[in-house]
Amino acid sequence: MDLSLVHKNKNDYYKLANDYLANIDSNELNTSFDKIISKSISILIDHDFIPTPCIEIKLELQNNQIKVGNYFLYIDENKGFLDEFLF
């Protein structure tokens, strides 16, 4: 996995995570939010339930400037969807 490409294209990765989050049915969301903050992009080498290696993109969800949750998108090195997690 080419880490320099991930770093160079970090805005594309955050946009991808925002797009996936926007496609979640609002009935499945347990919280409402008015702001999304790009928090981190990580390379996972070993994980219990996510195929690795992969890229984890974390977004923080806020409502009235208070954190109400996190969204995690897991993708492979070709930006293929692996999993997502919202809490």
The predicted model gives 58-71 an average pLDDT of 96
Residue 58 is predicted with a pLDDT of: 98
pTM equals 0.91
pLDDT of residue 27 exceeding 80, the answer is no
Q: How far apart are CA 49 and CA 20, in angstroms?
A: 20
Mean per-residue pLDDT over the chain, rounded: 92
- Domains of the chain, residue spans: 3-86
Q: How far apart are CA 36 and CA 18, in angstroms?
A: 8
Q: How many CA atoms lie within 13 A of 36 on its CB side?
A: 18
Structure-token pair, residue 22: 């926007």
Report percent pLDDT > 70 for the chain: 100
Amino acid identity, residue 82? Answer: L
Q: DSSP string covering 22-52, please?
A: HTS-TTT-SS--SEEEEEEEEEES--SSS-S
